[in-house]
Protein backbone atom coordinates (compact mmCIF):
# COMPACT_ATOMS: atom_id res chain seq x y z
CA UNK A 1 0.00 0.00 0.00
CA UNK A 2 1.51 3.31 -1.08
CA UNK A 3 1.58 6.62 0.74
CA UNK A 4 -1.03 8.08 -1.65
CA UNK A 5 -3.11 4.94 -2.17
CA UNK A 6 -6.45 5.76 -3.83
CA UNK A 7 -5.88 9.52 -3.68
CA UNK A 8 -6.60 11.21 -7.00
CA UNK A 9 -4.10 13.86 -8.01
CA UNK A 10 -4.39 16.38 -10.85
CA UNK A 11 -0.99 17.60 -12.10
CA UNK A 12 -0.77 20.42 -14.62
CA UNK A 13 2.08 20.61 -17.10
CA UNK A 14 2.79 16.94 -16.43
CA UNK A 15 3.91 15.93 -19.91
CA UNK A 16 7.59 16.38 -19.09
CA UNK A 17 10.14 17.70 -16.61
CA UNK A 18 9.01 18.13 -13.04
CA UNK A 19 5.37 17.34 -13.75
CA UNK A 20 6.26 14.00 -15.30
CA UNK A 21 8.53 13.17 -12.34
CA UNK A 22 5.68 13.96 -9.92
CA UNK A 23 3.22 11.88 -11.93
CA UNK A 24 5.46 8.82 -11.96
CA UNK A 25 6.31 9.11 -8.25
CA UNK A 26 2.70 9.64 -7.17
CA UNK A 27 1.48 6.72 -9.29
CA UNK A 28 4.18 4.54 -7.73
CA UNK A 29 2.71 5.44 -4.32
CA UNK A 30 -0.78 4.33 -5.34
CA UNK A 31 -2.31 7.60 -6.54
CA UNK A 32 -4.69 7.92 -9.46
CA UNK A 33 -2.98 10.56 -11.59
CA UNK A 34 -4.59 13.02 -14.00
CA UNK A 35 -1.76 14.00 -16.34
CA UNK A 36 -2.72 17.40 -17.74
CA UNK A 37 -0.66 19.03 -20.48
CA UNK A 38 -1.57 21.15 -23.49
CA UNK A 39 0.70 18.80 -25.46
CA UNK A 40 -1.68 15.86 -25.58
CA UNK A 41 0.84 13.36 -27.01
CA UNK A 42 3.23 14.18 -24.16
CA UNK A 43 0.47 13.65 -21.59
CA UNK A 44 -0.48 10.32 -23.17
CA UNK A 45 3.17 9.21 -23.17
CA UNK A 46 3.39 9.77 -19.41
CA UNK A 47 0.14 7.87 -18.88
CA UNK A 48 1.58 4.98 -20.91
CA UNK A 49 4.64 4.97 -18.62
CA UNK A 50 2.37 4.79 -15.58
CA UNK A 51 0.27 1.99 -17.09
CA UNK A 52 3.41 0.00 -17.94
CA UNK A 53 4.35 0.09 -14.26
CA UNK A 54 0.91 -1.02 -13.13
CA UNK A 55 -0.32 2.42 -12.13
CA UNK A 56 -3.58 4.28 -12.68
CA UNK A 57 -3.79 7.46 -14.76
CA UNK A 58 -5.59 9.39 -17.46
CA UNK A 59 -4.40 12.03 -19.92
CA UNK A 60 -6.02 15.44 -20.29
CA UNK A 61 -5.19 18.38 -22.56
CA UNK A 62 -7.74 20.97 -21.42
CA UNK A 63 -6.82 24.61 -20.87
CA UNK A 64 -5.98 25.34 -17.22
CA UNK A 65 -6.30 29.10 -17.73
CA UNK A 66 -10.09 29.09 -18.06
CA UNK A 67 -12.78 28.04 -15.61
CA UNK A 68 -14.44 26.03 -18.39
CA UNK A 69 -11.22 24.10 -18.95
CA UNK A 70 -10.76 23.57 -15.22
CA UNK A 71 -14.30 22.25 -14.85
CA UNK A 72 -13.75 19.78 -17.69
CA UNK A 73 -10.56 18.49 -16.05
CA UNK A 74 -12.31 17.99 -12.71
CA UNK A 75 -15.34 16.39 -14.36
CA UNK A 76 -13.14 13.90 -16.24
CA UNK A 77 -11.22 13.04 -13.07
CA UNK A 78 -14.38 12.56 -11.01
CA UNK A 79 -16.02 10.50 -13.74
CA UNK A 80 -13.04 8.13 -13.84
CA UNK A 81 -11.89 8.06 -10.22
CA UNK A 82 -14.83 9.31 -8.16
CA UNK A 83 -13.13 12.27 -6.48
CA UNK A 84 -10.11 14.60 -6.61
CA UNK A 85 -8.03 14.94 -3.47
CA UNK A 86 -4.94 16.85 -4.61
CA UNK A 87 -4.04 19.54 -7.14
CA UNK A 88 -0.42 20.10 -8.13
CA UNK A 89 -0.25 23.41 -9.99
CA UNK A 90 2.95 22.87 -11.95
CA UNK A 91 2.46 24.28 -15.47
CA UNK A 92 4.43 27.38 -16.39
CA UNK A 93 6.11 29.32 -19.17
CA UNK A 94 8.82 31.91 -19.75
CA UNK A 95 9.03 35.13 -21.72
CA UNK A 96 12.44 36.33 -20.55
CA UNK A 97 13.44 39.92 -21.35
CA UNK A 98 15.10 42.75 -19.50
CA UNK A 99 12.33 44.80 -17.90
CA UNK A 100 12.49 47.72 -20.34
CA UNK A 101 12.30 45.30 -23.29
CA UNK A 102 9.17 43.47 -22.11
CA UNK A 103 6.12 43.78 -24.31
CA UNK A 104 2.57 43.87 -22.98
CA UNK A 105 2.09 40.40 -24.47
CA UNK A 106 5.22 39.10 -22.69
CA UNK A 107 3.78 40.30 -19.40
CA UNK A 108 0.22 39.14 -19.96
CA UNK A 109 1.13 35.67 -21.23
CA UNK A 110 3.26 34.84 -18.19
CA UNK A 111 0.59 36.16 -15.81
CA UNK A 112 -2.08 34.18 -17.65
CA UNK A 113 -0.30 30.84 -17.43
CA UNK A 114 1.16 31.18 -13.93
CA UNK A 115 -1.37 33.23 -11.98
CA UNK A 116 -4.63 32.53 -13.78
CA UNK A 117 -3.49 28.97 -14.31
CA UNK A 118 -3.05 28.62 -10.55
CA UNK A 119 -6.45 30.19 -9.93
CA UNK A 120 -8.86 28.31 -12.18
CA UNK A 121 -8.39 24.71 -11.06
CA UNK A 122 -7.80 25.63 -7.42
CA UNK A 123 -10.96 27.74 -7.35
CA UNK A 124 -13.01 25.01 -9.02
CA UNK A 125 -11.77 22.32 -6.65
CA UNK A 126 -11.94 24.49 -3.52
CA UNK A 127 -15.64 25.14 -4.20
CA UNK A 128 -16.22 21.40 -4.62
CA UNK A 129 -14.35 20.57 -1.40
CA UNK A 130 -16.06 23.38 0.55
CA UNK A 131 -19.49 22.18 -0.50
CA UNK A 132 -18.59 18.61 0.47
CA UNK A 133 -17.36 19.76 3.91
CA UNK A 134 -20.46 21.88 4.49
CA UNK A 135 -22.57 18.88 3.55
CA UNK A 136 -20.97 16.84 6.32
CA UNK A 137 -18.47 14.96 4.17
CA UNK A 138 -14.86 14.32 5.11
CA UNK A 139 -12.32 16.42 3.21
CA UNK A 140 -8.55 15.89 3.40
CA UNK A 141 -7.47 17.89 0.36
CA UNK A 142 -4.25 19.48 -0.85
CA UNK A 143 -3.29 22.43 -3.01
CA UNK A 144 0.38 22.27 -4.00
CA UNK A 145 1.46 25.40 -5.84
CA UNK A 146 4.70 26.13 -7.68
CA UNK A 147 6.78 29.21 -6.99
CA UNK A 148 10.47 29.65 -7.76
CA UNK A 149 13.68 31.07 -6.37
CA UNK A 150 12.99 33.90 -8.81
CA UNK A 151 9.74 34.59 -6.98
CA UNK A 152 11.45 34.55 -3.60
CA UNK A 153 14.51 36.62 -4.52
CA UNK A 154 13.94 38.13 -7.96
CA UNK A 155 15.85 37.27 -11.12
CA UNK A 156 17.49 39.46 -13.74
CA UNK A 157 15.61 39.42 -17.09
CA UNK A 158 12.65 37.65 -15.47
CA UNK A 159 10.59 40.44 -13.92
CA UNK A 160 7.34 39.01 -15.31
CA UNK A 161 8.13 35.45 -14.19
CA UNK A 162 9.47 36.57 -10.80
CA UNK A 163 6.40 38.71 -10.17
CA UNK A 164 4.05 35.85 -11.05
CA UNK A 165 5.95 33.42 -8.84
CA UNK A 166 5.96 35.90 -5.94
CA UNK A 167 2.20 36.28 -6.38
CA UNK A 168 1.82 32.51 -6.10
CA UNK A 169 3.48 32.65 -2.67
CA UNK A 170 0.95 35.25 -1.50
CA UNK A 171 -1.90 33.22 -3.00
CA UNK A 172 -0.70 30.16 -1.07
CA UNK A 173 -0.74 32.03 2.24
CA UNK A 174 -4.28 33.31 1.68
CA UNK A 175 -5.55 29.90 0.53
CA UNK A 176 -4.07 28.28 3.64
CA UNK A 177 -5.74 30.81 5.93
CA UNK A 178 -9.15 30.73 4.24
CA UNK A 179 -9.51 27.05 3.39
CA UNK A 180 -8.28 25.32 6.56
CA UNK A 181 -11.84 25.20 7.95
CA UNK A 182 -12.83 22.92 5.07
CA UNK A 183 -10.01 20.39 5.48
CA UNK A 184 -7.86 21.89 2.71
CA UNK A 185 -4.16 22.70 3.02
CA UNK A 186 -2.17 24.89 0.66
CA UNK A 187 1.60 24.87 0.33
CA UNK A 188 4.00 25.91 -2.40
CA UNK A 189 7.30 24.55 -3.63
CA UNK A 190 10.15 26.42 -5.25
CA UNK A 191 11.97 23.63 -7.11
CA UNK A 192 15.26 23.75 -8.97
CA UNK A 193 15.64 21.00 -11.56
CA UNK A 194 16.43 20.20 -15.17
CA UNK A 195 13.38 21.10 -17.25
CA UNK A 196 12.72 22.48 -20.70
CA UNK A 197 12.75 25.97 -19.18
CA UNK A 198 16.03 25.64 -17.29
CA UNK A 199 17.73 23.81 -20.16
CA UNK A 200 16.83 26.71 -22.39
CA UNK A 201 18.06 29.31 -19.89
CA UNK A 202 21.23 27.65 -18.52
CA UNK A 203 21.98 24.39 -20.35
CA UNK A 204 25.55 23.98 -19.11
CA UNK A 205 24.55 24.41 -15.49
CA UNK A 206 21.77 21.82 -15.44
CA UNK A 207 23.20 19.12 -17.69
CA UNK A 208 23.42 15.58 -16.39
CA UNK A 209 26.87 14.63 -15.05
CA UNK A 210 28.76 12.24 -17.30
CA UNK A 211 30.76 10.63 -14.50
CA UNK A 212 27.81 8.88 -12.87
CA UNK A 213 27.84 11.11 -9.79
CA UNK A 214 24.65 12.29 -8.09
CA UNK A 215 22.53 14.21 -10.59
CA UNK A 216 21.43 17.14 -8.44
CA UNK A 217 19.33 18.60 -11.27
CA UNK A 218 17.22 15.46 -11.85
CA UNK A 219 13.52 16.42 -11.53
CA UNK A 220 12.92 13.15 -9.68
CA UNK A 221 14.78 14.65 -6.70
CA UNK A 222 11.88 17.03 -6.03
CA UNK A 223 9.16 14.40 -6.41
CA UNK A 224 9.40 12.86 -2.89
CA UNK A 225 8.43 16.20 -1.32
CA UNK A 226 5.41 16.47 -3.62
CA UNK A 227 4.38 12.90 -2.77
CA UNK A 228 4.57 13.65 0.95
CA UNK A 229 2.63 16.90 0.61
CA UNK A 230 -0.05 15.07 -1.40
CA UNK A 231 -0.42 12.36 1.24
CA UNK A 232 -2.61 12.27 4.33
CA UNK A 233 0.53 12.59 6.47
CA UNK A 234 0.85 16.30 5.61
CA UNK A 235 -2.57 17.42 6.86
CA UNK A 236 -1.01 19.47 9.68
CA UNK A 237 1.26 21.51 7.35
CA UNK A 238 -0.15 24.50 5.49
CA UNK A 239 0.89 27.97 4.38
CA UNK A 240 4.53 26.97 3.85
CA UNK A 241 6.88 27.64 0.94
CA UNK A 242 9.39 24.83 0.43
CA UNK A 243 12.58 25.09 -1.60
CA UNK A 244 13.79 21.79 -3.05
CA UNK A 245 16.70 20.82 -5.28
CA UNK A 246 18.99 17.81 -5.40
CA UNK A 247 19.07 16.39 -1.90
CA UNK A 248 18.16 19.71 -0.23
CA UNK A 249 14.83 20.73 1.29
CA UNK A 250 14.25 23.96 3.17
CA UNK A 251 11.36 26.16 4.25
CA UNK A 252 11.60 29.73 3.00
CA UNK A 253 11.46 32.48 5.59
CA UNK A 254 9.13 34.99 3.95
CA UNK A 255 8.42 38.66 4.35
CA UNK A 256 7.78 39.65 7.95
CA UNK A 257 7.86 42.89 9.91
CA UNK A 258 11.47 43.75 10.69
CA UNK A 259 13.07 46.24 13.11
CA UNK A 260 10.86 49.19 14.04
CA UNK A 261 11.61 52.78 15.01
CA UNK A 262 8.61 54.38 16.75
CA UNK A 263 8.62 58.16 17.27
CA UNK A 264 5.12 58.47 18.70
CA UNK A 265 4.47 61.33 16.31
CA UNK A 266 4.65 62.10 12.59
CA UNK A 267 8.15 61.93 11.11
CA UNK A 268 9.72 64.91 9.40
CA UNK A 269 11.31 63.89 6.07
CA UNK A 270 14.57 65.53 7.18
CA UNK A 271 14.80 63.13 10.13
CA UNK A 272 14.47 59.95 8.12
CA UNK A 273 17.97 59.50 6.65
CA UNK A 274 19.63 58.33 9.88
CA UNK A 275 16.50 56.39 10.90
CA UNK A 276 16.45 54.41 7.66
CA UNK A 277 20.20 53.75 7.89
CA UNK A 278 19.75 52.41 11.42
CA UNK A 279 16.87 50.16 10.36
CA UNK A 280 18.91 48.76 7.47
CA UNK A 281 21.81 48.11 9.82
CA UNK A 282 19.55 46.17 12.19
CA UNK A 283 17.77 44.23 9.44
CA UNK A 284 18.60 40.81 8.03
CA UNK A 285 20.30 41.42 4.71
CA UNK A 286 18.29 40.18 1.72
CA UNK A 287 19.63 37.44 -0.52
CA UNK A 288 20.98 38.68 -3.81
CA UNK A 289 18.76 38.79 -6.87
CA UNK A 290 19.59 35.92 -9.23
CA UNK A 291 21.95 37.11 -11.94
CA UNK A 292 23.56 39.88 -9.90
Write out pLDDT tens, residues 150-193: 999 999 999 999 999 999 999 999 999 999 999 999 999 999 98
Domain 8-251, CATH:
3.40.50.720
Tell me what percent of the chain is helix, strand and coil, each rounded to the nearest 5: 50, 15, 35
Please give the pLDDT value at position 196: 75
Strand, helix or coil for residue 221: helix
Identify the weakest region by mean pLDDT among 43-47, 90-94, 167-171, 255-259.
255-259
pLDDT band at 203 (very low <50, low <70, confident <90, very high): confident
What ranges do the domains of the chain cover?
A: 8-251
Please give the pLDDT value at position 207: 84
**Model confidence at 272: pLDDT above 90:** yes
DSSP type of residue 114: I
Identify the weakest region by mean pLDDT among 8-22, 173-187, 197-211.
197-211
pLDDT band at 202 (very low <50, low <70, confident <90, very high): confident
Please give the pLDDT value at position 189: 98
pLDDT band at 52 (very low <50, low <70, confident <90, very high): very high
Catalytic residue IDs: 148, 161, 165
How buried is 36 (Cβ within 10 angstroms: 0-12 exposed, 13-18 middle, 19+ buried)?
buried
pLDDT band at 208 (very low <50, low <70, confident <90, very high): confident
Sign of the four-CA dihedral 203, 204, 205, 206 = positive
Please give the pLDDT value at position 211: 87
Please give the pLDDT value at position 191: 96
**Model confidence at 209: pLDDT above 90:** no
Q: End-to-end distance of the chain based on CA atoms, in angstroms?
A: 47
**Model confidence at 40: pLDDT above 80:** yes
**Model confidence at 2: pLDDT above 90:** yes
Please give the pLDDT value at position 146: 98
Please give the pLDDT value at position 255: 86
Q: Which residues are paired to 147 by β-bridges?
A: none
**Model confidence at 201: pLDDT above 90:** no
Q: pTM (2 decimals)?
A: 0.94
Average pLDDT over residues 135-146: 98
User: How much is the mean pLDDT over the chain?
Assistant: 95
DSSP states of 183-213: TEEEEEEEEE---HHHHHH-HHHHPPPTTS-
Amino acid sequence: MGMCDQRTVVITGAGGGLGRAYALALAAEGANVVVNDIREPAAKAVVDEIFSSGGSALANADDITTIDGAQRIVAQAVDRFGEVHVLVNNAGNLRDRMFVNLSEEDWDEVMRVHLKGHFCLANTLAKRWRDKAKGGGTVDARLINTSSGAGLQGSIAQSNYATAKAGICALTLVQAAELARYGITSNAIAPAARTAMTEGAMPEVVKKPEDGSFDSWDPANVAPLVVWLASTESRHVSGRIFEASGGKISIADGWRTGPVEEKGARWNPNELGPVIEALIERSVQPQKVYGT
